[in-house]
Amino acid sequence: MSQTIRRKGTTARKVVAAQGTQRKVRQAKAKTGSAFDSAMAWLPFSEEQLHRLFLAAILGGAAVMAWLIASMAGLPTMAGLQLAQVAAQAGFEVKRVEVRGVKNINELKVYEKALAERDRAMPLVDLDALRNELLGLSWVKDARVSRQLPDTLVIDIVERDPHAVLRKADRFVLIDETGHELETVTRKAAAGKLIVSGPGAGQQVVQLGQLLEAAPALKPRVQEAEWIGNRRWNITFKSGQVLALPEGDRESASALVTFARMDGTNRLIGGKATAFDMRAADRVYFRVPPEEGQQLALKAGAVPHTASETEAAVPAAATMKTETEDQ
């Protein structure tokens, strides 16, 4: 004889316990979702970009496996291309170029170099080669090229500073403080800038800067410097007057300091003399117009000459001597 065993119905205590369990599950899910959302808010990626990163990671894993297999088979080049192809399919290829630090250079020249990499997979972009190309531009002193994933090349440019204008036989060229040629400019654009001239003057710009620093009070009054015979400088002031300096770094700097001291006492720049010659170690020659020269010679007690210009010799101590010469 069979008997049927009946279970007791669900008690109220069990129902309450089950409901409590379900509530805890819902709360745990809510907390997990809230924590995930908070973490997403802190990340510098959108949800779509994060999905792409996960996809790239998965594809990258597959590419690494393919690369390992290809490398073991002796095909590293094929492995690298495979890896780059996977990266490009994941969106890691050049779509944008960002240029920073450009002020004087033609920005289009920078973009012309960089846009050759457009649509290329990021792993295939040769950053060093691109940087070397940029360094070939006349205005670029230094450059840094970097990848900003997923699709941007960032180029930081350090420009050369224009320092002076080199006067050539047929044109004016803007140069930096080392004499590096930047670009051709018009005569009008050269106005107001220090002009250097003479064969080899571009290679002497650093030395000229050091020379002018010896007499900083004169520096803003210099308009042009001519490198003579590859051995010494003639300085032309904004007044149009010319100062001939001796050979040698120390000698020319000493002469310039002496002239600055004399100018501070007697206001030579802007005066009646048209030129000053300091090539002699112990005296300065002043070239003056004929009328002024005759008066200067008579005042000094010398016999007057009839010449288009007169030179009067004055010791470096700035005491007038009784010496005149026909020119």
**pLDDT of 153-209, one tens digit each?**
899 999 999 999 999 989 999 999 999 999 999 999 888 899 999 999 999 999 999
Question: pLDDT tens for residues 147-158?
Answer: 888 888 899 999
Say if residue 86 is in the same domain as residue 138.
no
Say if residue 232 is in the same domain as residue 178.
yes
CA distance 121 to 68: 20
Give residue 216's pLDDT band: very low, low, confident or very high (50, 70, 90): very high
Neighbour count for residue 132 (Cβ, 10 Å): 13
Q: Which residues contact 265 (CB under 8 A, 6 or more apart)?
A: 318
The reported pLDDT for the residue numbered 147 is 87
Beta strands across the sheet bearing 152-159: 96-100, 152-159, 140-148
Say if residue 107 is in the same domain as residue 74.
no
Domain boundary among 132, 159, 186: 159
- Does the pLDDT at position 215 exceed 80? yes
Say if residue 66 is in the same domain as residue 166.
no
The domain total for the chain is: 3
Q: Which two tokens stand for residue 56?
A: 């790239």
Domain presence at residue 205: yes
CA distance 213 to 230: 21
Say if residue 256 is in the same domain as residue 190.
yes
Q: Please tell me whether the peptide bond between 150 and the residue prior to it is cis, using omega within 30 degrees of 0.
A: yes
Say if residue 100 is in the same domain as residue 130.
yes
Q: For the chain, how many residues are written?
A: 327
Domain extent for 155: 92-159
Domain boundary among 159, 176, 198: 159
Domain boundary among 264, 279, 294: 279
Domain presence at residue 127: yes
Say if residue 180 is in the same domain as residue 264.
yes
CA distance 325 to 309: 9
The reported pLDDT for the residue numbered 5 is 47
